[in-house]
Amino acid sequence: MEHMTEEDGEALRVKGICIGTSTGTYDYYVDRPTSTDDLHGVGAFLFAMMALYDYVK
């Protein structure tokens, strides 16, 4: 997870999120610009962490 997140004081930031998604080829998708804390990725990250928490618990 270190390559996907960074700690900023007490905050956890999700980085490397594709800006704006649309249909296209794999190469088109992976060549899109990325940002940090874009809502497209933060929501998915939170759902994944909640599922992991429930699984481990």
Please provide the size of the chain in residues: 57
pTM of the predicted structure, to 2 decimals: 0.64
What is the predicted pLDDT for the residue at 21?
67
Encode pLDDT of 8-57 as tens digits: 889 989 998 888 767 778 888 888 888 999 888 899 889 999 999 999 98
Task: Give residue for tokens 């998915």.
Answer: 44
> In the chain, how many domains are there?
1
What is the predicted pLDDT for the residue at 25?
85
Range of the structural domain that residue 9 is part of:
5-56
What is the predicted pLDDT for the residue at 30?
81
CA 9 distance to own-chain centroid: 19
